[in-house]
């Protein structure tokens, strides 16, 4: 027997209000930290793109792809650590990455006031710090996420068997 979802006109006003409040809660508490991280990484990427280390480097160059992949892993980490915190589990990697991105976006203008004069070594050291945190935080966060999910699933299966 197939269940059908109630149409929007069948929903009680209280249910719609509850749904809307949950959507806004998710948006404010889950999506915005990851969005903020992405925005800060875009600021960093834009500024670092003006350095000699990236002069003439194409979008699909392995260096560019590695940086974009690390930034993606960082955003993913921020999103999942925020989700974990929303579920009641402590997780600090999202906060670490957000603070590092904020510090990086602010201090890059002090370290590289004129990015065209930045040395390759300084540019890569700066980016390695930013991207290294993301690359380390992602597997640790995902391992924790999977462990908690397995624990929850085994608890649910145990409850069904009882």
Please indicate, yes or no, if residue 5 is contained in any of the structural domains.
no
At residue 38, the pLDDT reads: 93
Domains contained in the chain, number: 1
57: which DSSP letter?
A: -
Please indicate, yes or no, if residue 3 is contained in any of the structural domains.
no
At residue 44, the pLDDT reads: 92
Show the domain range for 68. Answer: 13-161
Say what the pTM is.
0.74
Tell me if residue 102 falls in helix, strand or coil: helix
At residue 98, the pLDDT reads: 93
At residue 87, the pLDDT reads: 77
Tell me the pLDDT band of 42, cut-offs 50, 70 and 90: very high
φ, ψ (nearest 5 deg) of residue 113:
-60, -30
Provide the mean pLDDT of the chain.
Answer: 83
Please indicate, yes or no, if residue 143 is contained in any of the structural domains.
yes
CB-count burial class (<10 Å; 0-12, 13-18, 19+) for 5 = exposed
| pLDDT one-digit tens code per residue, 99-135 | 999 999 999 989 889 988 989 899 899 999 999 999 9
The answer to whether residue 159 scores a pLDDT higher than 60 is: no
What is the rounded CA–CA span in Å between residue 146 and residue 139? 10
At residue 161, the pLDDT reads: 55
Please indicate, yes or no, if residue 28 is contained in any of the structural domains.
yes
| pLDDT one-digit tens code per residue, 72-91 | 999 999 999 988 887 778 88
**What is the average pLDDT across 3-9?**
54
């Amino acid at each position: 027997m197939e269940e059908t979802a109630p149409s929007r006109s069948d929903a009680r006003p209280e249910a719609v209000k509850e749904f809307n409040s949950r959507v806004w809660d998710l948006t404010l508490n889950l999506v915005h930290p990851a969005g903020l991280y992405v925005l800060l990484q875009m600021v960093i990427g834009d500024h670092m793109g003006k350095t000699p280390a990236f002069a003439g480097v194409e979008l699909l160059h392995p260096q560019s792809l590695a940086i974009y992949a690390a930034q993606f892993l960082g955003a993913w980490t921020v999103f999942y650590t925020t989700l974990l915190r929303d579920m009641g589990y402590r997780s600090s990697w999202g906060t670490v990455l957000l603070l590092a991105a904020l510090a990086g976006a602010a201090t890059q203008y002090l370290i590289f006031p004129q990015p065209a004069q930045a040395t390759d070594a300084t540019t890569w050291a700066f980016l390695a710090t930013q991207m290294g945190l993301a690359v380390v935080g992602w597997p640790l966060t995902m391992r924790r996420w999977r462990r908690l999910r397995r624990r929850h699933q085994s608890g649910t299966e145990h409850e069904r068997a009882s």
